[in-house]
Amino acid sequence: MPSPYLEARLARVRRALAEKEIDALLLTDIDNVGYVSGFTGSTAYALVTPDEAVFLTDSRYTLRARQECPQFTLAQAAGSGGYPEALTQIFSERPHLKKLGFEAQRVTVTQWEQLKKDSPAGLEWVATDGLIEALRMIKDADEVAAIQNAIAIAEGAWETVKPLLRPGLRERDFALELDFAMRRAGADGSAFETIVASGALGAHPHHSAGDRPLSPGDLVTVDWGASVGGYVSDITRTVGLAPITEQQRALHALVLEAQRRAIAAVRPGRTGKEIDAVARDFLTERGYGEQFGHSLGHSIGRKVHDGPALSVRSEKVILEPGMVVTVEPGVYIENWGGIRIEEDVLVTEGGHEVLTHLPNELEELG
């Protein structure tokens, strides 16, 4: 069932064409194609002009494209010439198209040379980087619902497998259990490689799940997300395996407070840098600024890192209703371990709504 918001997405693309003074936009990035068309397959191009939307895919996806993208005219990339030949055909049938926007960062040099070689002589290729990505920063209601669904699946999987978190279980085995539970609950897959970082390994923010068996007294940081229907979730919890020390408890509470303050500051008009600073300044005042090395958060949507959002470099990122960002402060101490807590937060007209719902106080398990 095509999203009722697809017409609005096309309209936004067409407004962008007018602003950039280009006659058409060729989309070759599959996430951007999917965003504009509703297509869920893995290979397709889309061409958007002020009065036309042309969809180009191969025979594997023709039926799916017809069902999912009714607002597009379907052109099939048949024959040995493939996509370049089909595009040449499309352009030669539309001689009025003179200035063509394309996604310079999304095509390889080889692809681009092929595309240019086969295109009509009068066609001017104009690089339009980040045009659709900028639109994708603001989610419509369908996209928010898709993210909420990806969150519900990830959270349900966590609740299902959390009782397995006990001394003796290897990090990789817990990661597999979580991935499996998400698939069973309806995820197309994990949104990214699940992180399980235990004990001193927790000091590496992006340690992947390895062979280390969980041990009593560990803090265990788990960072996971589901990918469902083209949208993702991204959640982190740090739990403790008994016995937990006062220092572990106090540092977890500190990171949680940094997160609480940063989330409270999220509202339209604030910059990503300002929100990052709320958490960073708080941790710095308490003596842990150096131990918080990464950005506070990022946009999520069709991708896990779906554009910048909350970092020291985000002075130009102005929060707007419809953005969905993660808020994930952390503290990492060499030879000791780490703590990170991550929520997914929707920017709303009035401020924000936290979309993740798992408890985030320190749980002592085992």
Tell me whether residue 148 or residue 236 sits nearer to Zn ion (CB atom): 236
Interface region with Zn ion, contact rule CB under 5 A, candidates 95-103, 107-115, 278-286, 340-348: 340-348
For residues 148 and 124, the answer to whether their CB atoms sit within 8 Å is: no
Give the nearer residue to Zn ion in terms of CB position, either 225 or 337: 225
Cβ proximity to Zn ion: between 190 and 236 the closer is 236
Which lies closer to Zn ion via its Cβ, residue 210 or residue 216? 210
Structure tokens belonging to residue 190 = 């994990």
Query: Distance between CA atoms of 329 and 336, rounded to whole angstroms?
Result: 17
**Minimum Å distance from CB 294 to Zn ion?**
9
User: Which residue, 9 or 303, has its beta carbon nearer to Zn ion?
Assistant: 303
Segment near Zn ion (CB under 5 A); pick from 15-23, 89-97, 159-167, 341-349: 341-349
Residue 164 CB, nearest approach to Zn ion (Å): 20
CB of 237 to Zn ion, least distance (A): 10
Nearer to Zn ion, 199 or 330 (CB): 330
Establish if 234 lies at the interface with Zn ion (CB under 5 A). yes
Tell me if 177 sits within 8 A of 163, measured CB to CB: no
Four-residue CA torsion sign, 308, 312, 317, 323: positive
For 309, the enclosing helix (H) or strand (E) is: strand 308-310
Minimal distance in Å, beta carbon 260 to Zn ion?
17
Q: In angstroms, give the least distance from the CB of 99 to Zn ion.
A: 38
Q: Can you list the pairs that 161-167 forms with residues at least 24 positions away whose Cβ atoms lie under 8 Å? A: 162/239, 162/365, 165/214, 165/220, 165/239, 165/241, 165/365, 165/366, 166/214, 166/241, 166/365, 166/366, 167/213, 167/214, 167/215, 167/216, 167/218, 167/241, 167/366
Among 177, 223, 274, 344, binds Zn ion (CB under 5 A): 223
Contact segment (CB under 5 A) with Zn ion among 80-88, 161-169, 220-228, 242-250 equals 220-228
Choose one: 15-23, 103-111, 160-168, 219-227; the region binding Zn ion (CB under 5 A). 219-227
Specify the residue, 113 or 159, whose C-beta has the smaller distance to Zn ion. 159
Q: How far apart are CA 274 and CA 297, in angstroms?
A: 12
Q: How far is the CB of 305 from Zn ion (least distance, A)?
A: 8
Instruction: Kindly tell me which of 100 and 355 has the beta carbon lying closer to Zn ion.
Output: 355
Binding pattern for the stretch 296-335 against Zn ion, x by CB under 5 A and - elsewhere: ------------------------------x---------
The smaller minimum CB distance to Zn ion, of residues 171 and 342, is found at 342
Strand, coil or helix: 53: strand
Enumerate the H helices of 27-81 as residue ranges.
30-37, 62-68
DSSP state of 275: H
Q: How many residues bind Zn ion (CB under 5 A)?
A: 5
Query: What span, in angstroms and rounded, lies between the C-alpha atoms of 1 and 152?
Result: 21
Name the one range near Zn ion by CB under 5 A: 49-57, 74-82, 245-253, 342-350.
Answer: 342-350
Q: Which amino acid is at 19?
A: E
> Nearest 10 degrees: CA dihedral of 206, 210, 215, 218?
0
Using CB under 5 A, which of the segments 155-163, 173-181, 222-230, 254-262 binds Zn ion? Answer: 222-230
Smallest distance from the beta carbon of 222 to Zn ion, in angstroms? 9
**Strands, E, within 205-275: which ranges?**
219-224, 226-228, 231-232, 235-241
Give me Rg for the CA atoms of the chain.
23
Examine residue 155 and tell whether it contacts Zn ion (CB under 5 A). Answer: no
Residue 259 lies near Zn ion (rule: CB under 5 A): no
**Dihedral angle sign, alpha carbons of residues 239, 243, 249, 255:** negative
Q: Which residues contact 284 (CB under 8 A, 6 or more apart)?
A: none
Chain residues binding Zn ion by CB under 5 A are: 223, 234, 236, 326, 342
